Amino acid sequence: MQKEEIFKIVEKQNKWRSECLNLIASENITSPEHDKVYVSDFMHRYAEGLPFKRYYQGAIYIDELESKAVELAKDVFHAKYVDLRPISGAMANMAVFSALGDYGSVLLSPGVLGGSHISHEKFGVAGILGLKTEHAIFDKKEYNIDTDATIKKIREVKPKIVVLGGSVILFPHPVSEFRKVCDEVGAKLIYDAAHVLGLIGGRKFQDPLKEGAEIISSSTHKTFPGPQGGIILSNSDEKTFKKIQSKIFPGLISNHHLHRIPSMMIAALEIKEFGEDYATQTIKNAKALGRAMYEYGFDVLCPDKDFTESHQILVDVRKNGGGKKVASTLEKANIILNKNILAFDDVNNSDDPSGLRIGVQEMTRYGMKESEMKYIAELMKKIVMDGKNPESVREEVIEFRKKFQKIHYCF
Ligand SMILES: Cc1ncc(COP(=O)(O)O)c(C=O)c1O
C-alpha cells in the first residue's frame, strides 16, 4: 500500500458523496467554518478532567473554549448542566445508564421495533451494563408510544430508567405524560435526542427538558450539524449530574477529542442563528417527500398524520422487494438511504427488513426545498416503481446534485 492510494480513496469518497442524494437520517454535513477549526493542534492533546481542573498541563486554551462551549450549549438548549466530553451518542448513553442504573435494574425504552437505538437494548449498552430491558407498548397505527398502556406497564415493571427518543422518531414522544409516573416509581426520565437535537435547538420539535425529561443524551451530528460526537444536557439535580460526569471521566473517556469542541461551538452558533429556519424547512421537506412518494404509489407510513413531524419518513417497501434490495438498488443511482426495521417486523430480521428510513436534513442544508423533494420522489419512482435501470438514473442524480453544493443555514 502506497500513501497515494490513501489520498485517492479519500478523494473518491469526497467526489462520490458530493454527487449523491444523501438521505441517511443519522448524518449531516458540517459547514466550511467547521473546517477552519476542526483540524488544529487540539487534535493532538489531552485535557483530562473538567475545565480549570485538569490533570494535564497545556490546557489553557481548551479550558477557555470548553467552558465557553458549555455556556453556549446551556443557552441553546435551555439546560442547567452540560457535558460535551462523550465522544459519541452511544458513549453518552453509557455514561447516563451506568450512573442511573444498577446491575439487574430495569431500563424501559420503545425497543428497536419502536425506534430505539441499539444502545437502549440488551444487545447494546444496556445489556453490557447488565440492565434488564423492557419495552414500551407501541401503537403501530399511530407510529408512536401508546401512552396509557405504557404508563400501566411502568407501574408494573418499575424501571429505574425510562428512555424516550430514538433512531426512528416521526412524532414527539409522551415526555410530560410520563414524568408523573416516573416520579411515582422512582425512575429517571431520559430522552435520547441524537436524531432530533437540531430540531429541538431550532424550537420546532418537542423540548424534552421543558416537558419534564431530566436528562438528554445525544450525538451531535444528525439534525444538529456538528462534528461526530456526543453531549449530555440536564435539568436534574447537581448530585445526579455529578454522578454522570464521574462516569464520563474517570469512567469511560480519558481523551475527549478536543478538536470537536470548537467545531461543536460553530454548530451551536449556527443553530442559534439559523436553527428555526433550518428546522422549519427540514420538517416541510420531510412532509413534502412523504407526500410525493405516497402519490407515486409508495407505501409511506402515516399518510393520515401528514407522514411525519421530524426530519424522517418511513416507507414500507415489501411490495417493492424489501428494504435490503431497494436500498442497494437506489445506491447504484447515487441515492443513499438505509433499510430499516419497521414496528411490525420480526426483530430478528434486521438484515432484510420491510422498510426504508429516509432523512432530509442534509439535503435541506444544501438548500433543497419542497420542489426538489418532489423531484427526488420522481427519481426513486423511476427506479423502484417503473423498473428503470439505476445506472441510467445516476446521470440525472449527478446533474441535479451539481446545483446543490453550497451549504446553507451557516455563516
Ligand atoms: C437515538 C440514537 N442514540 C444514540 C446513537 C449513537 O450515536 P453515535 O453513533 O454517536 O454513538 C444513535 C446513532 O445513530 C441514535 O440514533
Residue 102: strand, helix, or coil: coil
Q: Name the helix (H) or strand (E) containing 336.
A: strand 335-336
**Cα 295 to ligand 1 centre (Å):** 32
> Are 257 and 378 contained in the same domain?
no
Structural domain total, the chain: 2
Helix ranges (DSSP H) in 165-298: 175-185, 197-201, 208-211, 238-246, 260-295
Q: Where is the domain boundary, 218, 236, 267? A: 267
CA–CA separation, 19 vs 8, rounded Å? 17
pLDDT band per the 50, 70, 90 thresholds, residue 35: confident
Domain membership of residue 169 (yes or no) is yes
Say if ligand 1 is within 6 A of residue 217 CB.
no
Domain membership of residue 281 (yes or no) is yes
Q: Where is the domain boundary, 242, 267, 292? A: 267
The atom number, within ligand 1, closest to the CA of 88 reads 10
> Are 225 and 341 contained in the same domain?
no
> Are 309 and 372 contained in the same domain?
yes
Q: Where is the domain boundary, 239, 267, 295? A: 267
Say if ligand 1 is within 6 A of residue 119 CB.
yes
Q: Decide if 244 contacts 95 (C-beta within 8 A).
A: yes
> Are 89 and 218 contained in the same domain?
yes
> Are 242 and 309 contained in the same domain?
no
> Are 231 and 92 contained in the same domain?
yes
Instruction: Write out the residue range of the structural domain in which residue 127 sits.
Output: 32-267
> Are 76 and 210 contained in the same domain?
yes
User: Averaged over 257-265, what is the pLDDT?
Assistant: 98
Q: Decide if 234 contacts 214 (C-beta within 8 A).
A: yes
Domain membership of residue 25 (yes or no) is no
Find the radius of gyration of the CA atoms of the chain. 21
Domain membership of residue 239 (yes or no) is yes
pLDDT band per the 50, 70, 90 thresholds, residue 80: very high
Please provide the average confidence, as pLDDT, over all residues in the chain.
Answer: 98
Residues 300-335 as b/e (b if ≥16 CB within 10 A, e otherwise) read bbbeebebbbbbbbbbbbeebebbeebbebbeebbb
Say if ligand 1 is within 6 A of residue 26 CB.
yes
Say if ligand 1 is within 6 A of residue 117 CB.
yes
Would the pLDDT of 140 be above 90? yes
User: Averaged over 67-79, what is the pLDDT?
Assistant: 98
**Cα 89 to ligand 1 centre (Å):** 5
pLDDT band per the 50, 70, 90 thresholds, residue 167: very high
Find the CATH number of the domain harbouring 189: 3.40.640.10
Let me know the angle formed at the C-alpha of 307 by 302 and 311, rounded to the nearest 5 degrees: 135
> Are 253 and 293 contained in the same domain?
no
Q: Whose CA is nearest to atom 8 of ligand 1?
A: 89
Q: Classify residue 242 by burial, with Cβ atoms within 10 Å: 0-12, 13-18, 19+.
A: exposed
Domain membership of residue 13 (yes or no) is no
Domain membership of residue 16 (yes or no) is no
DSSP string covering 3-72 = HHHHHHHHHHHHHHHHTSEE--TT-----HHHHHHHSSGGGG----EETTEESSSS-HHHHHHHHHHHHH
Find the CATH number of the domain harbouring 353: 3.90.1150.10
pLDDT per residue as tens digits for the range 292-321:
999 999 999 999 999 999 999 999 999 999
Instruction: Give the closest residue to 97 by CA, choosing from 136, 131, 122, 123.
Output: 131
pLDDT band per the 50, 70, 90 thresholds, residue 349: confident
Residue 275: strand, helix, or coil: helix
> Are 167 and 247 contained in the same domain?
yes
Domain membership of residue 89 (yes or no) is yes
CA–CA separation, 127 vs 268, rounded Å? 32
User: Averaged over 94-120, what is the pLDDT?
Assistant: 98
State residue 78's pLDDT score: 98
pLDDT band per the 50, 70, 90 thresholds, residue 137: very high
pTM, 2 dp:
0.98
> Are 381 and 396 contained in the same domain?
yes
For the chain, helix, strand, coil in percent to 5 are 50, 15, 40
Residue 316: strand, helix, or coil: strand
Percentage, residues of the chain above pLDDT 70: 100
Q: Decide if 176 contacts 211 (C-beta within 8 A).
A: yes
Q: Decide if 157 contacts 108 (C-beta within 8 A).
A: yes
> Are 260 and 310 contained in the same domain?
no
Would the pLDDT of 362 be above 90? yes
Q: Decide if 195 contacts 204 (C-beta within 8 A).
A: no
User: Averaged over 263-276, what is the pLDDT?
Assistant: 98
CA–CA separation, 328 vs 324, rounded Å? 6
Domain membership of residue 21 (yes or no) is no
Q: Which residues contact 4 (CB under 8 A, 6 or more apart)?
A: none
Facing residues of 144 across strands?
139
Backbone angles phi, psi at 21, to 5 degrees: -90, 105
> Are 175 and 152 contained in the same domain?
yes
Q: Whose CA is nearest to atom 1 of ligand 1?
A: 166
